[in-house]
Amino acid sequence: MRIALAGAGAFGEKHLDGLKNIDGVEITSIISRRAEQAAAVAEKYGAKHSGTELEEALARDDVDAVILCTPTQMHAAQAIACMKAGKHVQVEIPLADSWADSEEVLRVQQETGKVCMVGHTRRFNPSHQYVHNKITGGEFNIQQMDVQTYFFRRKNMNAKGEARSWTDHLLWHHAAHTVDLFAYQAGKIVKANAVEGPIHPELGIAMDMSIQLKSETGAICTLSLSFNNDGPLGTFFRYIGDTATYIARYDDLVNGKEEPIDVSKVDVSMNGIELQDREFIAAIREGREPNSSVAQVLDCYRVLGELEKQLAAG
């Protein structure tokens, strides 16, 4: 399986580190906005080609599939371009920043028949897999999810603290993780509300947001998001259920009393991003729909589109 990666920033390298652990995978092309960055990452991971334009990778016959870790605003158009060029594609979360663009990506996937997977990593973190297995096994039902997504990003910085060229978004990016996970764990979302705080004068986005969700099973979710939090960073999930309470912090899990739960045997790795990439590769090889396919996650973007309309209406 020969892979091109577009977007060689902090998250792109996380994918490359995961792909190193998958048998039969070769990184053949690295695409990045800056030629020198693309070349350096290509050298580090043994890719024979680097460049600044996605079209360069799509034109190569030694590229079977593409992983997109590019700015949010480019995701939909680039995913479509990959599939139309005959390449399978995994697009990092979010799929798009509009409902219409999300629908168009699904249309092209159905038209081309290519694997199109979206990077909803929470489906793959061992912590959330553990809870999902309890739910599907009939041992646990969610009553409420309480989620905090907190960062300190008053300037345009990436996960490495480096300046970046595009603006992140609490709704279309960070809320997408929880909206999809809640539906994955508790059923289709039937009610959603959102409020947002002041708009940042330079970044032009809301820095704080609160979202409420209800699923068809009656479970509820409260999601708090902030780019203003000068404290512990990341996303923390509290599952309150009928038989237990679980707190998930990325790949780690504890119970309601903060006692660690061993999730090391849940899957073949403890790295959610590696597991996500393993599913992408396996789906292509096996000719099947992957977990977190564009079809499976599309309803998340319907909800986000509805919330965007609410927020615009004030």
SS3 label, residue 164: coil
**In this structure, are 261 and 139 located in the same domain?**
yes
pLDDT of 164? 53
- In the predicted structure, residue 85 carries a pLDDT above the cut 70: yes
| pLDDT classification of 252: cutoffs 50, 70, 90 | very high
**In this structure, are 107 and 175 located in the same domain?**
no
pTM for the full model? 0.94
pLDDT of 201? 87
**In this structure, are 107 and 158 located in the same domain?**
no
Q: Where residue 145 sits, what CATH number does that domain have?
A: 3.30.360.10
**In this structure, are 145 and 18 located in the same domain?**
no
Half-sphere exposure of 24 (CA within 13 A, CB side): 7
**In this structure, are 137 and 212 located in the same domain?**
yes
**Range 217-234 average pLDDT:** 94
- In the predicted structure, residue 167 carries a pLDDT above the cut 80: no
Give the distance, in angstroms, between the CA of residue 107 and the centroid of all CA atoms in the same chain: 20
Q: Which of 261, 256, 259 is nearest to 245 (CA)?
A: 256
pLDDT digits (tens, 9 = 90+) for 280-309: 999 999 999 999 999 999 999 999 999 999
pLDDT of 310? 97
- In the predicted structure, residue 163 carries a pLDDT above the cut 80: no
Number of domains the chain is built from: 2
Rg (CA), the chain: 19
**Range 234-243 average pLDDT:** 96
Q: Which of 37, 41, 1 is nearest to 19 (CA)?
A: 1
- Beta bridge partners of residue 116, listed in sequence order: 89
Q: Where residue 33 sits, what CATH number does that domain have?
A: 3.40.50.720
Work out whether strand 142-150 and strand 116-119 pair parallel, antiparallel, or are unpaired. unpaired
- Beta bridge partners of residue 60, listed in sequence order: none
**In this structure, are 164 and 229 located in the same domain?**
yes
**Range 153-161 average pLDDT:** 63
Say how far apart CA 12 and CA 27 lie, in whole Å. 12
- In the predicted structure, residue 161 carries a pLDDT above the cut 70: no
Say how far apart CA 112 and CA 169 lie, in whole Å. 30
**In this structure, are 249 and 181 located in the same domain?**
yes
pLDDT of 156? 62
pLDDT of 152? 85
pLDDT digits (tens, 9 = 90+) for 113-143: 999 999 999 999 999 999 999 999 999 999 9
In single-letter form, the type of residue at position 111 comes to E
Q: Which residue segment(s) compose the domain that 220 sits in?
A: 122-267+300-313
**In this structure, are 289 and 304 located in the same domain?**
no
pLDDT digits (tens, 9 = 90+) for 255-266: 999 999 999 999
Residue found under tokens 């038989």: 243
Mean pLDDT, all residues of the chain: 95
- In the predicted structure, residue 182 carries a pLDDT above the cut 70: yes
**Range 84-100 average pLDDT:** 98
Say how far apart CA 115 and CA 87 lie, in whole Å. 8
**In this structure, are 193 and 158 located in the same domain?**
yes
In single-letter form, the type of residue at position 299 comes to D
**In this structure, are 75 and 143 located in the same domain?**
no
**In this structure, are 107 and 37 located in the same domain?**
yes
| Residue 268 to residues 247, 252, 302, Cα–Cα distance (Å) | 22, 15, 33
Q: Which long-range contacts (CB under 8 A, 24 or more apart) does 201-207 make?
A: 203/154, 203/156, 203/167, 204/167, 205/167, 205/168, 205/169, 205/170, 206/170, 206/171, 206/311, 207/154, 207/170
Q: Which of 232, 214, 234, 210 is nearest to 223 (CA)?
A: 210
**In this structure, are 140 and 254 located in the same domain?**
yes
Q: Which of 235, 186, 242, 194 is nearest to 215 (CA)?
A: 186
Neighbours of 46 (CB within 10 A): 12
- In the predicted structure, residue 168 carries a pLDDT above the cut 80: no
The more confidently predicted of residues 213 and 205 is: 213
pLDDT of 205? 87
| pLDDT classification of 160: cutoffs 50, 70, 90 | low
